[in-house]
Amino acid sequence: MTAMTMNEGKIDRAMRIIVGVVLIAVGFYLQGTWGIVLGVVGLVPLLTGLIGWCPLYALFNINTCRWIQH
């Protein structure tokens, strides 16, 4: 198994965290089925933003970091 290396830049991570928090907040506001769906969907960008690694970016070999990683 290979180690996860960061593949998200600072702006990318910040946007994901903001979008994730907003979706979770809207989910709490709406409640019900749609609230749960938005809350769960909001966890994905929030978590990927916090850890700095996106599995889809890894799959498609995308890297928005300024660092050159090997």
pLDDT of residue 5: 85
Instruction: Say what the pTM is.
Output: 0.84
pLDDT, tens digit, 9 for 90 and up, residues 21-67: 999 999 999 999 999 999 999 999 999 999 999 999 999 999 998 76
Q: Exposed e or buried b for every residue in 30-55, given b needs 16+ CB within 10 A?
A: eeeeeeeebbeebebbbebbeebbbe
Give the C-alpha separation, 52 to 57, whole Å. 11
- The pLDDT confidence band at residue 8, using thresholds 50, 70 and 90, is very high
CA torsion 38-41-45-47 (nearest 10°) is: 110
Q: Quick: pLDDT tens for 41-53.
A: 999 999 999 999 9
Rounded Cα distance between 32 and 60, Å, is 35
